[in-house]
Amino acid sequence: MELTETQRQELAEAEAQRHETRRPVSPGLEAMLFRPLPLLDHGFIRVVDYMGDDTAVVQAARVSYGRGTKAANEDRGLIRYLMRHRHSTPFEMCEIKYHVKLPIFVARQWIRHRMSNVNEYSARYSILDREFYLPAPEQLAAQSAVNRQGRGSVLQGDEAARVLDLLREDATRNYDHYLDMLNEDAEGRVIDEGRRGLARELARMNLTLNAYTQWYWKTDLHNLLNFLSLRADAHAQYEIRVYAEAMLDTVRAWVPLTYEAFRDYRQGAVTLSAQMLATVRGMLDGRDPQQEGSGLSKREWRELMTVLGREA
């Protein structure tokens, strides 16, 4: 991912500004401001602004006047309690705003999380860049035989090369037709003075879903963690997962105590149904429960055995 000279200049000017503040700041996240983190082939994510830190969570939970308990271990214990028992409102006191550049098909998957404020680049007003997401060869996989929404084995050789050629050819052709319908080049200059161009809001319908868009995305910490618990998971689609993993890095820098609790109680934990718990208790009592009679479906049984590190 390469920024244009104009973009680099804008970021340099923003980074050079200094503002005195009396509110709490996060030194780790301050160091990441104005730093686009490159993702995929042309995408990025960067932190634009934020409000609050770990102490804001503690302060809200205790409804205290100051920065909360001075003993760091007490703050850590409270945050872990809040995370463990899913008390959400104290985490809603922190907010963060990102600038994200991402393929349109990833954006459409992302926007299903209806818990944020979003302002997207408008193709009704501006011309989209000639940039398309082309997967790395190791991400070109066939449809999974067991997961209807997942990938299976990686395509090889001529088959993979053909897919990449088709993706590149379709995206390039459609973008050329997009500019032709607009009768404008990428800089907005008229191509043919002898004809009128199609309105931008109509011409954009021809673009492929691997074209890049951009948006500002603002959310609170509670909803961000819900988003990350799904999209930073190994089962999430690769293209959105890389964005979620980069956002996890920003959370670790921003609210390290909350990140630690999230890692332990959400990412590294599992939820057991009543039937699963009964099965585990049976194992602890020395019995040998079987899937038949457990009340678990074959899929649930397989998932439980995987969690326990046993053969299904």
Helix (H) or strand (E) holding 29: helix 27-30
Write down the catalytic residue from 148, 231, 263, 281.
231
Residue 231 a catalytic site member = yes
| Cα 61 from Cα 228, distance rounded (Å) | 22
| Cα 95 from Cα 220, distance rounded (Å) | 4
Helix (H) or strand (E) holding 280: helix 274-284
| Cα 145 from Cα 36, distance rounded (Å) | 37
| 3-state secondary structure at position 47 | strand
Q: Where are the beta strands (DSSP E) in 243-293?
A: none
| 3-state secondary structure at position 117 | strand
* 8 A C-beta contact, residue 140 and residue 164: yes
In order, the DSSP letters of 51-102 are E--HHHHHHHHHT-SSS--S-HHHHHHHHHHHHHTT--GGGGG-EEEEEEEE
Nearest Cα to Cα of residue 103 among 41, 189, 13: 41
Catalytic residue IDs: 231
